[in-house]
Amino acid sequence: MTGQGWKRIISLMAGVLLALSVLLFACAEGTLRPGDKGESVRQLQQRLTELGYDPGTVDGIYGSATTAAVKRFQKDNGLQADGIAGPKTQAALENTGTAVPTATAAPTVTTYKTLVPGTYGKAVVRLQKRLKELGYLKGSADGQYGPLTRKAVRSFQSMHGLEVTGRADPETQELLFSDAARNSGGETAALAVWLKPGEYVTYTAQSNAVKRAATLCDGLTDAEKLEAVTGYLIRNLLYDYIKSVTLTGSYTPDVDATLESGTGICLDFAALTACMLRSQGIPTQLVIGYADGVYHAWNLVLIDDEWQRVDVTAAVTNTNYLRYETERTY
């Protein structure tokens, strides 16, 4: 056989192996997570509402309010409070007898009543928990509307351009419990998810990937950081075709292992990209879905208020995907 013939065979095998990567990281069937959208999420929200766990607007979007409601339900029912509606959580939701209405659920907009310093009770606890979640309250959620709670409310109001009174009026609470609420650092609750470690994107300040990103991005703008990180990864990574078809069961990427070995599959590359960019203060989503019908993982990166698709795997394998379909985001 000629050398050209061997090249054709090798190219064909590489393509087949890449396509078979659909076996890589099939998610647990039916599991719902923050960032998911659709009728299944709407049904989840409706069920939470029926059981007294307010998920916010029943809109089919798995946002921070829905995540908080799921966590409260899980905590009350002895489940792992991770905010992910997996099989066990959904089974408990379906069994009415296991659902215990929670006193700390965020109220609907029609039930908001002005809370002032000196008041106390369950409504104050809800208020304090939300303020703590967003980083405004440093004290405990003890149900007492004292000086620390008043200070936290004033900080929240100032951040959002509301009248700074220290009184939690209905307008303040409506915004506080919404996905539009910004944390103490100025990011919306929804955006903050893409700026920290999460499922599939696990790292710490001591991770080598974080340190490498800091070296690459020193003194650069966000757009320049994106170019520096992706350029580095594309130059230094190789796709592991064997790994893509031999993995079995659940799989969690190790960003430092991928960085050190210089090899991995699409989920590894998307996780490493998200880690390095998030650690540099750039909101980055890890997306799982389909690229031209092949199960795949890539990133969405927020640069200058616009989400840009970044696919390091496609660049590494020199593949030109034409159609992307999102299934889940992390």
- The tens digit of pLDDT for each residue in 243-283 reads 988 987 778 899 999 999 999 999 999 999 999 999 999 99
- Assigned domain for 137 exists: yes
The verdict on 147 and 224 lying in the same domain is no
Query: What is the CA angle 116-122-127, rounded to 5?
Result: 55
Residue 13 confidence class, pLDDT cut points 50, 70, 90: low
pLDDT digits (tens, 9 = 90+) for 188-226: 666 778 888 988 999 999 999 999 999 999 999 999 999
Q: Which sign does the torsion angle of CA 176, 177, 182, 183 carry?
A: positive
Residue 206 inside a domain? The answer is yes
Give the pLDDT confidence score for residue 189 in this predicted structure.
62
Q: With cut-offs at 50, 70 and 90, classify the pLDDT of residue 138.
A: confident
233 is a domain residue: yes
Is residue 276 located within the same domain as residue 173?
no
Coil vs helix vs strand at 252: coil
Look at residue 78 and give its three-state secondary structure: coil
Residues 148 and 45 in one domain: no
Tell which phi-psi region holds residue 76, choosing left (phi > 0), alpha (psi between -120 and 50) or beta: alpha
User: How many domains would you assign to the chain?
Assistant: 3
Residues 203, 210 contacting (CB under 8 angstroms): yes
291 in Cβ contact with 241 (< 8 Å): no
**What is the mean pLDDT of the segment spanning 66-80?**
84
Domain extent at residue 174 = 109-186
Q: In DSSP terms, which residues pair with 285 in a beta bridge?
A: 300
Count CA atoms closer than 13 A to 11's CA, side-chain side.
8
Position 32 in a domain: no
Do 222 and 317 fall into the same domain? yes
Which of residues 18 and 282 earns the better pLDDT score? Answer: 282
